[in-house]
Structure 1
């Protein structure tokens, strides 16, 4: 094999490894982006004492479920190459969960769209959190769909095995997702307490009000 031929072969292989790594980094960004959105909701809940309604909590749940899709890809990449089926399944979970979540947030938008309804809870840049949730879900569907279109280039092959940074990032990203999943479960329990149903317009943490 001549030098020119070897170079022409090496460059596409190098470019493939780079695109594989970028695809995996994007999975990290997707998971952390969903967690950051829930973190913003925490600011309203714990910083401004604006209690989320059941529909708000349902939207958080679907954000977490959507993040689980690429998290599956990240977790699998720590053990070796990710197959096409595993890659498609991960982003498929992200899309389906985001689509269902968008219907919940869209329904809540329609519930408060007619003036003079002030909407539920506070607003950020003039839009209530459920409206931002709808934007987040639709953006997530678009992003996950693009990943499936570019699956040939974005599918992690040996990127995790050759990049220590990706292995370290996987531990951090999965830990962040676990934290938000557990903390959201605890927040739901504190809001509902030991009651079968949560009020549509919570005014406090029923666990503590029942306790004291």
Structure 2
């Protein structure tokens, strides 16, 4: 049976200290961590001029998809209450997307693991970006699993409406995620242009090349 809490009941529970904000702040950290990972990929793409391959773009997509689950928890927190089901569904979605993303990045690692294959694009601390992507996905899975394991003390539950920091963060973090979603779509369009298939080893922005730039 589902129980709907009224606004006065929510306020009453919030005042009793039942609210667990650790899980909610972790949801923000998770989303921002995924966005930070994409920001690093953007630095390699736009700062160092290294064009991502189709598998790289797939990994970016799963970074964003994984962040959607915790972002849903954040959006739901605006109502004042995040149920256990919503908390579990959000991080369950994060784990599923991260598992699929790790499979893609692991496949790319295996494609370039045999010497003397130099790997695709540049490296950071001796590891290529797809290797770092695999590590990030694995850490995301572990972190989400721990959050679920500690649901009793980490789920947001009743979120105090008077928390100014959480109220501001609940608006800013999803906006940051949507910004990365939009910029990733633009980057993909520039790389593939109006073609059905993208080059496996892009050397330019196909859309701009087709325009004669």
Under a length normalisation based on structure 2, what TM-score does the superposition of the two structures give? 0.90
CA distance in 2, matches of 1:80, 1:103: 36
Shift of 1:94: 0.1
Structure 2 match to 1:119: 119
2:41 is aligned with 1:41: yes
Cα shift readout 1:25-56 (whole Å, capped 9, x = no counterpart): 11000000000000000000000000000000
Structure 2 match to 1:169: 169
Question: SS of the counterpart of 1:202?
Answer: coil
CA distance in 1, matches of 2:71, 2:149: 19
Tell me the C-alpha RMSD between the 2 structures.
0.9
- Residues 205 and 160 of structure 1, relative CA distance in 2, 3 Å threshold: farther
Question: SS of the counterpart of 2:57?
Answer: helix
2:191 is aligned with 1:191: yes
Shift of 1:81: 0.7
Structure 1 match to 2:178: 178
Structure 1 match to 2:55: 55
Structure 2 match to 1:8: none
Structure 2 match to 1:5: none
Paired residue total: 197
Structure 1 match to 2:150: 150
Structure 2 match to 1:137: 137
Q: Is the 8 A contact 2:22 2:155 kept in 1?
A: no
Greater share of helix = 1
Instruction: Please list, as runs of the form range in 1=range in 2, the aligned pairs for 1:55-74 lying within 5 A after superposition.
Output: 55-74=55-74
Q: Is the 8 A contact 1:78 1:160 kept in 2?
A: no
The more displaced of 63-72 and 82-91 is 82-91
Shift of 1:22: 1.4
Shift of 1:152: 1.4
CA distance in 1, matches of 2:161, 2:106: 41
Shift of 1:137: 0.1
CA distance in 2, matches of 1:162, 1:55: 44
Please list every run of 5 or more consecutive structure 1 residues that lacks an aligned counterpart in the other structure. 1-12
Structure 1 match to 2:82: 82
Q: Is the 8 A contact 2:84 2:157 kept in 1?
A: no
Structure 2 match to 1:107: 107
- Residues 160 and 136 of structure 1, relative CA distance in 2, 3 Å threshold: farther
Q: Is the 8 A contact 1:77 1:160 kept in 2?
A: no
CA distance in 1, matches of 2:170, 2:199: 38
**Following superposition, which runs of at least 4 residues in structure 1 exceed 6 angstroms of deviation?**
none
CA distance in 1, matches of 2:141, 2:159: 25
